[in-house]
Structure 1
Amino acid sequence: MGTITKAIEMLNYFSHRRPEIGLSEFVRLIGRDKATVHRHLSELERNGFLEQHPVTRAYRLGPAILRLSGVRETTHPLRSVVRPIVTELAQEVGELVHFSLLQGQTLSPVFHADPKMHGTQVHFDEAELLPLHATASGLALLAFAPKKLTDRVLAGPLERFTESTITDPDILRDLMEKVRETGCSKLEQGFDNEVSSHGAPIFGPDGELLGALSIAVPHVRMNPEKSAAIREALKRGVMKITRSIGGNIPPRHAGKWGTDA
């Protein structure tokens, strides 16, 4: 892992639950020596990717993140495009819906909506990268991903997040085959013991795989009727997002989620 990668990787430790991180905590999280961690933090701060709290001296995301985020959304709008679709879908099914983009061998959340219609809700952190093998959205993406990416992910290591996380490559390949047939995935308690989810892939203008749309439900509330309703809603969501971003579903997969994407 190169020096630049090691430094940038540190940004992924920030989340809604961990908005500020001190030097000592970074050392503990990353497992590198204090001098190296401090050097990387100083470089990130010097370039505006981090800033320090004036009192606690803990690090938080800096102004460069905002500037680059604004450039991305202005030149390649996505969050603003999917926001109304995801929000409408969440209201329709009464459950949390999220859209994520492929980032290396993970999914990076872009936007989520939760109508909060029930007492029991799914906790979702948009700053948390989602593993491809342990989430419904990840499995949906793997099912339609190029063989090179699939082989690389399944070659491991495949982290176990719960007792139900599937880490056997052969079982995952069987599940992927079923997803390719139906267009939608389902995983129960693979990433979170209390959550069951369905997912489906999203394709871009050239038919390239961009990411995935997913609906997450507290496991105690999942049943066959809700599962069937979620699958139908998910397919409608896939078509709406595909049309809105100017995407094209590859001809070999036409009809799995609807028609005339």
Structure 2
Amino acid sequence: MGTISKALEMLNCFSRKRPEIGLSEFVRLTGRDKATVHRHLVELEQNGFLEQHPVTRAYRLGPAILRLTGVREATNPVRSILRPVVTGLAQETGELAHASLLQGQMLSPVFHFDPQMHGIKVNFDEAELLPLHATSSGLAVLAFAEERLRREVLAANLDAFTPNTIVDPEKLTPLIASARRTGLSHLDRTYDEEVTSQGAPVFGAAGEVIGALSVAVPSVRAQPDRLSEISVALATAARSATRSLGGTYPDLPLPGQTDPSHFS
């Protein structure tokens, strides 16, 4: 990993639960020596990606992030396009829905919405990168990603987030194949011990998979009939999201239909 990558990777340490990070904590989180971490922090601060709290001297995200976010959304309005799709999906299903985009070997959340129709809810943090092997969104992406990405992910030392996380490539492979055949993935308590989720891929203008939509349900409400209803809404929303982003969806079946034998 190059110097620039090491510095920029540090930005992924921030989340809503961890909005400010001190030097010592950065050393612990990155596993790097103090001098190297301090040098990277200084460079990120000088370029506006970080700023220091005037009292605690802890680091937080800087103004350059806001500026670049504005430029990205103005020139490539993904969040504003996906917001109504995700919101509509959440309201139709009565459950938390979210959209994420592929970022290297992880998924970066873009927008989520919880209609808050139930007392038991799913906790979701848009600042957390999502692993491809342990989330339904990730499996949906892996099913349609380039073979190189699938090989790299399955060959890595996969983290177990819960006792149900599948880290054996031989067990993940048929799940990925099923998601490619049906256009839907399903995982039960593999990233959060109390959550069951379903995912569907989203495609870009060149026909490549760029991300996914997902609906997350507390496992206590994840009954087969309920999940079946959600899968129909999810598959429809994924097609809508793809069209809105200027992409083309593969010739995949809607839930309950016969699998097609080819892509359009």
**TM-score bucket (shorter structure):** over 0.9
**How far is the alpha carbon of 1:79 from its aligned partner?**
0.1
* Equivalent-residue separation in structure 1 for 2:220 and 2:15 (angstroms): 27
**How far is the alpha carbon of 1:151 from its aligned partner?**
0.6
Is there any run of 5+ residues in structure 1 with no aligned partner, and where?
none
Q: Which runs of 4+ in 1 moved over 2 A?
A: 255-258
Alignment-derived partner of residue 65 in structure 1: 65
Are 1:236 and 2:233 matched, yes or no?
A: no
SS at match of 1:37: helix
The residue type paired with residue 43 of structure 1 is E
* Equivalent-residue separation in structure 2 for 1:32 and 1:238 (angstroms): 40
**How far is the alpha carbon of 1:256 from its aligned partner?**
2.6
Alignment-derived partner of residue 2 in structure 2: 2
Are 1:145 and 2:145 matched, yes or no?
A: yes
**How far is the alpha carbon of 1:180 from its aligned partner?**
1.6
Q: TM-score, normalised by structure 2?
A: 0.95
**Count of aligned positions:** 257
Deviates further, 239-248 or 37-46: 239-248
Alignment-derived partner of residue 252 in structure 2: 255
The residue type paired with residue 12 of structure 1 is N
Alignment-derived partner of residue 30 in structure 1: 30
* Equivalent-residue separation in structure 2 for 1:230 and 1:203 (angstroms): 20
Alignment-derived partner of residue 191 in structure 1: 191
* Equivalent-residue separation in structure 2 for 1:257 and 1:52 (angstroms): 50
Alignment-derived partner of residue 155 in structure 1: 155
**How far is the alpha carbon of 1:257 from its aligned partner?**
4.2
Are 1:40 and 2:40 matched, yes or no?
A: yes
Q: Is the 8 A contact 1:239 1:257 kept in 2?
A: no
Are 1:86 and 2:90 matched, yes or no?
A: no
SS at match of 1:178: helix
The residue type paired with residue 99 of structure 2 is F
Q: TM-score, normalised by structure 1?
A: 0.96
* Equivalent-residue separation in structure 1 for 2:153 and 2:112 (angstroms): 25
* Equivalent-residue separation in structure 1 for 2:187 and 2:97 (angstroms): 15
* Equivalent-residue separation in structure 1 for 2:202 and 2:252 (angstroms): 14
Are 1:55 and 2:52 matched, yes or no?
A: no
Is there any run of 5+ residues in structure 2 with no aligned partner, and where?
256-263
Q: Is the 8 A contact 2:160 2:167 kept in 1?
A: yes
The residue type paired with residue 89 of structure 1 is L
**How far is the alpha carbon of 1:170 from its aligned partner?**
1.1
* Equivalent-residue separation in structure 1 for 2:27 and 2:152 (angstroms): 29
Q: Is the 8 A contact 2:194 2:218 kept in 1?
A: yes
Sequence identity of aligned pairs in percent?
A: 64
* Equivalent-residue separation in structure 2 for 1:199 and 1:123 (angstroms): 17
